[in-house]
Structure 1
């Protein structure tokens, strides 16, 4: 299966995950093929820390109110009952929970009382480009993240920072943790874009050395993937701008300052994506130009060969005429003893003369450097 068909199947599979038309707002219609939720808890204060996997959502109640920050991460959205229990424990709005399970949402920020709901997307490249929706709830003493599936995420560096006692995140509140999560997701776009940059360089080298038709398909695939990344990251810039601009109780001035830096990273990513898309268009132009130049070279070779044979064909045609050889006016050289060798020698001299003329004009052989002697004083 080609890269293009794999990406198309991946996007099509995501777009199927929608509630039926007319479903009541706030209904949790989960994907029957989604993995069951796996709940992981990290609770911490400045001088204490706990990390464990939670078997039942009710176990989370004992941690509320006893820690500075509780981070609950749920991998998998395949059990509506578990998700409803978590929503009830943390008083999460049903409309926000509906957006959690409908994983085709664009990045956004919504406020429900003292709960802030953030939708973002993280991407990676394995065999093909993949994206995953990450839904984040920010509350007075907690952060909850919902991911589509376990197995890959870019949040492990954040967990490592929490495990160390002397870190800024251990001294800050849930707003700073939300920033750290968003920053890790945004920064993970840069390695993906580095892969795109390497692929562009490889395509450019192939086009310059020996262009083929497969390059066209690869350029289209790459441009399509860049468009996919652009659609994922462009709304995230708006969401981050909302977090920086609006007054959100859990996001203090320090966290807002760091979010501004995260916003700058997002703008850089968008600029890179736009630049790479322009490079894709330039590569297509380069491919067409290379094909045109190659065709011109072929036509030049054929033209030179034809030109070399024009005088030879004329000579052969003249002496191939069947006139009466008994007349002294009808080609007396046909009776010369060395007429045939002289004719061959003449044709060879004409051919060599043409080749020398073509080389001096620069039509064949290495190109002559421009003569700049006239510019010297």
Structure 2
């Protein structure tokens, strides 16, 4: 069985947004067997980390094989198994056997990017989200799919890449017994990680706020073709963010209404707060999208005004030289009987007429304020 997929960009930057299609999805060939795992050639080999904890103790270890999880899953403590990398079909299949995962669950985990969603199975929940993280130089952001499998006493998380997530604060709260995470179950851990994913959108949006503010100054003071490309890139990147946060809102809303028994009523209250955060992200995102669209209109208006001012300057110059050209053309004709040709002061009189006409027109345009407006535009 073969799989066809469009090339996709997991790193969204201003330069790449103009070249890459942010809406590329993989798709299987018609007739493909459901649940078949297709591992990309450049996928990172998986690394398995486990944090097992209760209110009194916590343990953090790196596992060599998926089967090492079994001893921890048989206890009443909460086990967080974090898998980073999707580069081994064998390890993923063995993880599925250890946790009793449906083949379609593994297919959703491996095939990225997926639309954020929640699916309920007999003894576990599948939660798919898209995690974003700003780049250090504020030039775009990383997109990475994170899959959560929530069971009675465990949480399995699967990420695309190792050592790049927004969960470090949650790990510290577990290991150093901060907050309520060690006093609660796996459902609260799932909430904490989802909340961290949503909070990761705010730094990204803050960067876009700064970029849009800089573009506003550039559009007003010195618009150019590069400015148009920057505006277009920002619009595309914001559209990509919207694509991931909008379905996440629906997924969290479905979690607050889940009746699987894996999520307690206390955690549902926290998930409602998480839902409010997604609404805030969407509000900020829509505001920035409107600002970016407005920048496009301002840019086009500024370029149109600039062109109008240029045409006005050219019109003024042409208007001044047209009568001078007429006078020079009349006395440049090669007729023999022209009285002024033999007049001693004819040359100087012709120059005086042209200078007088030009000065009169310049005075008229100055009184109208045309020279002042044109000069201010040229100075900008």
TM-score range, shorter chain: 0.7 to 0.9
- Work out the CA distance in 2 between the residues paired with 1:107 and 1:253: 23
- Alignment of 1:223 onto 2:235: yes
- Residue 305 (1) aligns with residue 317 (2): yes
Of residues 358-367 and 182-191 in structure 1, the stretch that sits farther from structure 2 once superposed is 358-367
Q: Distance in 2 between matches of 1:315 and 1:103?
A: 77
CA contact (8 A) 2:238 2:285 kept: yes
Structure 2's unaligned 5+ residue stretches are: 1-12, 375-380
Q: Output the aligned Cα RMSD.
A: 2.5
Shift of 1:342: 4.6
Normalised by the size of structure 1, how large is the TM-score?
0.86
Displacement of 1:22 after TM fit? Answer: 2.8
Find the aligned partners of 2:141 and 2:81 in 1 and give their Cα distance.
Answer: 27
Q: C-alpha separation between the residues in 2 aligned to 1:94 and 1:313?
A: 86
Classify the secondary structure of the residue corresponding to 1:364: helix
What runs of 5+ residues in structure 1 fail to find an aligned partner? 368-377
Within a 5 Å distance, the mapping from 1:65-144 to structure 2 comes to: 65-126=74-135, 128-144=140-156
Aligned equivalent of 2:370: 363
1:324 alignment counterpart = 337
1-structure distance, mates of 2:322, 2:364: 15
Aligned-pair CA distance for 1:29: 3.2
Give the C-alpha shift of residue 206 in structure 1: 2.4
What is the Cα deviation at residue 331 of structure 1? 4.1
* Deviation, structure 1 residue 86: 2.0
Q: Aligned residue pairs: how many?
A: 357
In the TM superposition, residue 237 of structure 1 has moved relative to its aligned partner by: 0.7
Partner residue of 1:335 out of 343, 348, 353: 343
Deviation (angstroms), 1:277: 2.5
The aligned residue for residue 20 of structure 2 is 7
Give CA-to-partner distance per residue, 1:262-287, whole Å, 9 cap, x none: 11121222223323222232222222
Shift of 1:39: 0.4
- 1:7–1:128 contact (8 Å) kept in structure 2: no
Q: Which has the larger radius of gyration?
A: 1
Q: What is the rounded CA distance, in whole Å, between the counterparts of 1:274 and 1:172 in structure 2?
A: 36
Q: Which residue in the other structure is 1:344 paired with?
A: 351
Instruction: State whether structure 2 residue 228 is matched by structure 1 residue 203.
Output: no
Is residue 6–residue 128 contact of structure 1 (8 Å, CA) maintained in 2?
no
Counterpart in 2 of 1:373? none
Structure 2 length-normalised TM: 0.85
How far is 1:72 from its partner? 0.5
Instruction: Return the structure number with greater relative CO, CA threshold 8 A, min gap 6.
Output: 2
